[in-house]
Structure 1
Amino acid sequence: ALMDPGEERSKQEVYDIAPYPIVWCRELGDGRVFHNAMGHREDVWDHEMFQTWVGDTIEWAAGEGEAAAAPNWGDVVP
């Protein structure tokens, strides 16, 4: 898990939803998987930092570069 929405920024408290990852990555066999639940609005995709981040994660998933993909749920969501 790389990010969790946090109760203050979501409806978790209203709907009694447990913390969950909105961005995560992992290595799976010889491949890599990246999941991003962000970017539902056009203005998010127009943001240069978001575009760079998406490009970087696509490169990582394609096997380029290194990233810590070990399970870390306890570190991200205390």
Structure 2
Amino acid sequence: MAMTLRLSPEQDHALTLLASASGTSKHEAAVRAIVQAAARTLADAQVQATARELLPGRKQLEDEIRRARRF
């Protein structure tokens, strides 16, 4: 599927640096970054779910932190 990605000059520069560092095109660097971010997000969610199951009080502590951040 084709998609247009509109970037600010700063974001384009960051993508250029990322592509250069990995020796790939900007397209490939963007695709890899998306896949890595998705994998990290899913892994983090799995760790959080496991911690809630194994650590008593974990969910309550998370809820308290979220409430405190609102202020």
Report which of the two has the higher share of strand: 1
TM over 0.5: no
Q: Higher Cα Rg: structure 1 or 2?
A: 2
TM-score, scaled to structure 1: 0.29
Higher relative contact order (CA 8 A, sep 6+): 1
**TM-score of the two chains, using structure 2 as the length reference:** 0.31
* Greater share of residues in helix: 2
